[in-house]
Amino acid sequence: MGHALEDCAVKKSPLQKEIRQRRAFDSPQVEALLNILRTQSVLMGPLSVLFKEYGLSQPLYNILRILRGAAPEGLCVQEIAARMIAREPDTTRLLDRLEALGFAQRERSKQDRRVVRVSITQAGLEILGALEEPLQRVHQELLGHLTDADLASISRLMAKARQPHMS
């Protein structure tokens, strides 16, 4: 009976309520990290559904955007991997998939046969173009309730959290 009164007396954080956690988090760091992970999961849901409609995943979409930014020269696999939003252990496998879909192509360097450059194809550019409007709608649905100042604060704090861990 004492526990029920205790639970009512302690104000729970929004995350505690969402995940139905009864006790306090071990530290503010644990709660903040779990908030980041929970938010990532909630926000990625609609994005994953949209990408799936186009036969893509978030990592494949990310690579296509990277390749579009590097067009027409393309990039080597290591450079693509370094530019990814989320680190993927097997960028080569992802590139195999994009190539099979006709969205990317590989070309071996004539100067150094060990170097393979990957570039986006016309079909890759077209699928990115087709995604622009629906993706803007999803972004608006997910974060349109926040002010520009809120969004700038989130971006600033996320960069600050990552900064000591970037190599």
Residue 25 has pLDDT above 70, yes or no: yes
Return the CATH number at 136: 1.10.10.10
| Domain membership flag for residue 45 | yes
| Domain membership flag for residue 100 | yes
pTM score: 0.84
The per-residue pLDDT for 9 is: 52
* Pairwise CA distance, residues 142 & 43, whole Å: 7
| Average pLDDT over every residue of 102-108 | 95
| Domain membership flag for residue 95 | yes
Give residue-wise pLDDT tens across range 135-150. 999 999 999 999 999 9
| Domain membership flag for residue 67 | yes
* Host domain of residue 103: 25-165
| Domain membership flag for residue 18 | no
Domain total in the chain: 1
Residue 6 has pLDDT above 80, yes or no: no
* Pairwise CA distance, residues 24 & 15, whole Å: 10
